[in-house]
Amino acid sequence: MSDRSRRIPEATVARLPVYLRSLAELLEDKTATVSSERLAEMAGVNAAKVRKDLSYLGSYGTRGVGYDVEYLAFQMSRELGLTHDWPVVIVGAGNLGQALANYGGFKERGFPVAALVDADRAKVGQLVHGVPVHHLDELPVLKERLGIAIGIIATPAVAAQDVADALAEAGIGSILNFAPAVISVPEGTSLRKVDLALELQILSFYQEHRDTEGV
């Protein structure tokens, strides 16, 4: 990681993929330049925040012209580490794991699913959407052989911590957790959580209060 990237606030890092998605749309439309106002509108933030975020990349645009779309997309891709692939292993070959393995968006964005692993030996050797299932014990070997950089936890909550431990012990330093459980990881390991049930509960709060206020 560069010194510059270490100074970028986490909130800004979280917005960079949103900006990059907007830039991809502009590139598809063959748009050469974009103003901070237009990019802000596409990303759902205000223009001042866009300009501040982009300043962390050393990109200040040209007054009256805006930002070069292609170069800005390159800058963001480089900062996000998207100029090369990051092979992924999915732990848990159940319904969720199989659905994730079948999602083409991972490979398109530079995150090819290299393997699935599961603790159930009955599943070992199966092909899930063309991806082989290995046993959890094989993680260290798979990490070295396939260059796995990111582990995705798609197991029941009760197994999530053991899986996180196995990923860390195998030397996999980035983890995306889909299990509905709070897990701990060693210092230096990056952890992100996706809790669909939690998001639905938050939506139910707004739905409940919307209905109540409408009475």
Q: Give yes or no for a contact between 189 and 210, defined as CB atoms under 8 angstroms apart.
A: no
Q: At residue 3, does pLDDT exceed 70? A: no
How high does pLDDT run on average in the chain? 93
Give the residue range(s) of CATH 3.40.50.720 domains in the chain. 88-198
Closest CA to 142 of 84, 87, 86, 82: 87
36: closest CA among 57, 54, 20, 13?
A: 54
Q: Tell me which residue has tokens 């938050």.
A: 202
For residue range 164-202, what is the model confidence (pLDDT) as tens digits? Answer: 999 999 999 999 999 999 999 999 999 999 998 899 999
pLDDT digits (tens, 9 = 90+) for 85-141: 999 999 999 999 999 999 999 999 999 999 999 999 999 999 999 999 999 999 999
The topology under which CATH files domain 3-79 is: Arc Repressor Mutant, subunit A (1.10.10)
Backbone angles phi, psi at 40, to 5 degrees: -65, -40
Please tell me whether residue 191 adopts helix, strand or coil conformation: strand
Summarize the confidence of residues 41-68 as an average pLDDT.
Answer: 91
* pLDDT computed for residue 81 by the predictor: 94
For the chain, percent of residues with pLDDT exceeding 90:
87
Identify the residue with better confidence: 213 or 127. 127
Q: Which CATH superfamily is domain 88-198 in?
A: NAD(P)-binding Rossmann-like Domain (3.40.50.720)
pTM score, two decimals? 0.85
**Per-residue confidence (pLDDT) for residue 63, from 0 to 100:** 84
DSSP-assigned states of every residue in 35-100: -HHHHHHHHTS-HHHHHHHHHTTT---BTTTBEEHHHHHHHHHHHTT-SS---EEEE--SHHHHHH
CB 110 within 8 A of CB 84: yes
